[in-house]
Structure 1
Amino acid sequence: MATDISLSADALRHVAQGRRVFPCLPGGKRPIGRLVPNGFRGASDDFELVSRWWEHCPNANVGLPTGQGSFDVLDIDIKPEGSGYPAFNRLKAAGVLPPPLAVVVTPSGGLHCYYPGTGQPCGALKAHFIDFKATGGYVLIPPSVVNGRPYRLIATPATTGDQLNWGEVRAFLTPPRPATPRPASGRPAPPGAGIPGLAAWLAAKTKPGRNQALFWATCRAVENGAQESELHELYRGMRFGDGFDERQAARTVADAFRTVRKASTT
């Protein structure tokens, strides 16, 4: 069988750039055990070894270990039970995500956003259909193919960039939930009545993360039925300063309101 020039050439191109790669099953995501018994931990930047791997299996997909010395990758999933795009759009609107080094469309229609590699461990927010591939993980890279569809590089917006803080992403999407006030009867409060509790939670927030917390709280209030005119009460007791002022808070509330409304109509 003739060598698949694009797969072999791409693997060797990454080796030439000092990155370690390894072969995965043709059309699949698992490492080829007979070639790399230790899985992604057997990745190599040895030109001759990598060449031999693809001579043995010309159609092997190309795996790239993530984390320190490589890339961290934010993985936006598309699955039958849900999509990671709503959470991804909220993260972008709130300014939590720095510009990625590259963006790849995955075979499912999701995204891989590449950032400078760090020592952070891998993580997952299954309820939001978002994964984080870092130290201890790997991804397939273009032009690998799964289910007949390739990974496609669609953007390289930055040659250098900031690292992605996975802890900040996790805290933004799954922060501690403030207690929802209940009326004296003990029945749940009507929609929108959670604003006082959210406002009290926000008033205790200090830098950093105040703006992200306000965005999250606004989204929750709108999802609970709050009207736009009520939302500005959320930041009345917040601590301003260090670049975060009332004007910025008002813009954040408006952005969150539009984000939730847009998501509810798509």
Structure 2
Amino acid sequence: MHPLVSVFSDLSPRPALAAGRLAEAGVPVFACVPGGKRPLPGGRGFLDASTELARVESWWRQVPKANLAVPTGRMSGVVAVDVDVHGTSGFDAFRRARDVGLLPRPLAVVRTPSGGMHLYYPADPGMEQRSWQAARAGIDFRGDGGYIVAPPSRVRIDGVLRAYEVVELHADAVESVDAARLRGFLDPQPVAWRNVLRPVLSDAVRVGRIASWVGTLVEGERNRGLFWAACRLAEHGLAPADAFDALRSPAQGVGLSEREVAVTVRSAYRTTQPAPASTAAASSVGSFVRRDPQHASPARRLP
């Protein structure tokens, strides 16, 4: 039985206690702002997630009403399918995906404060499962590079604090969700995704395709889409400042600010290329360094 099921089966109404039990069971956790979904300021979000009980307890001593969050993917061993109700309701797409066998029995079903649903599944240890969003279907996938706010956290909806509630638990659930097939089913026209991933393209063309795809994002997809694109550019070996240059204009064209682009690119590079401990402390937060292959040039700061 996955430890998350064990903790959820006897859930404390206090996020601090639930966080401690998850950490003791080997599931990394971190704290979010009271009544919200954003990580506590001053840290690195899900990258700070820990199973060290003393560290976890210190977060809630500092902010007793903090919400509880779990990183998804390999970090925790769980992924989640988020059925949304904002804009397009995801319940129709959920039922269609379930009926064709793309959503097996989950470890847990959680009702969200907004009336949506989180389905928790065991992560597939042999496969990379990155987070994605199918805004038109009303469904998100939380995998590597993502996180999920977990029960018994409460979020303010229309001025009222509402809790995440566990409604189903299945201790015998062992089948993971095939995120790639699910996405193909929910978003049957992923032409842009196929284009940017095609390995035969030259680096310059690949970067151009990724940047162009960012320019097609709609509200609800923009931030995660930009993060995905920046991660791909990082994996292709593009310098952070060059990635910012490539993505800034198309991202601004769909409504993101220059600061949002800079913050997202930073986050993507920290996720895909974490700095060694010896150099992380020496690096300046909020800056990228572009270096000429032949000689070093001064650091260039981004917004």
Distance apart, 1:157 and its partner CA: 2.2
Q: Check if 1:39 corresponds to 2:22.
A: no
- Aligned runs of 1:126-205 on 2, under 5 Å? 126-147=135-156, 148-175=161-188
Give the structure 1 partner of residue 94 of structure 2.
88
Report the CA distance shift for 1:72/1:152 in structure 2 as closer, same or farther (over 3 A).
same
CA contact (8 A) 2:31 2:59 kept: yes
Give the structure 2 partner of residue 8 of structure 1.
16
- Aligned runs of 1:15-94 on 2, under 5 Å? 15-34=23-42, 37-68=43-74, 69-79=76-86, 81-94=87-100
Distance 2:149 2:38 in 1: 10
Distance 1:126 1:175 in 2: 13
AA aligned to 1:124 is Q
Distance apart, 1:5 and its partner CA: 6.8
Count of residue pairs brought into register by the alignment = 171
Distance apart, 1:158 and its partner CA: 3.5
- Aligned runs of 1:107-122 on 2, under 5 Å? 107-118=113-124, 119-122=128-131
Distance apart, 1:160 and its partner CA: 3.4
Distance 1:5 1:74 in 2: 23
Give the structure 2 partner of residue 106 of structure 1.
112
Residues 94-147 of structure 1: CA deviation (Å, up to 9, x unaligned): 111111011000011101000012331001111001000000000000000001
Q: Could you say what secondary structure the match of 1:113 adopts?
A: strand
Distance 1:170 1:92 in 2: 13
Distance 1:157 1:30 in 2: 29
Give the structure 2 partner of residue 207 of structure 1.
none
CA contact (8 A) 1:73 1:113 kept: yes
AA aligned to 2:62 is H
Give the structure 2 partner of residue 249 of structure 1.
none
Distance 2:41 2:26 in 1: 23
Report the CA distance shift for 1:56/1:129 in structure 2 as closer, same or farther (over 3 A).
same
Normalised by the length of structure 1, the TM-score is 0.62
Q: Could you say what secondary structure the match of 2:133 adopts?
A: strand
Give 1 or 2 for the bigger CA radius of gyration.
1
Report the CA distance shift for 1:6/1:43 in structure 2 as closer, same or farther (over 3 A).
same
CA contact (8 A) 2:155 2:163 kept: yes
Give the structure 2 partner of residue 225 of structure 1.
none
Distance 1:112 1:89 in 2: 14
AA aligned to 2:48 is G
Report the CA distance shift for 1:9/1:94 in structure 2 as closer, same or farther (over 3 A).
same
Normalised by the length of structure 2, the TM-score is 0.54
Q: Could you say what secondary structure the match of 1:169 adopts?
A: helix
AA aligned to 1:73 is A
RMSD across aligned positions (CA): 1.6
Q: What stretches of structure 1 of length at least 5 have no aligned partner?
A: 178-266
Residues 17-59 of structure 1: CA deviation (Å, up to 9, x unaligned): 101111100000011023xx11110111101111111011000
Distance 1:100 1:73 in 2: 9
CA contact (8 A) 1:99 1:158 kept: no
AA aligned to 2:141 is F
State the percentage of identical aligned residues: 39
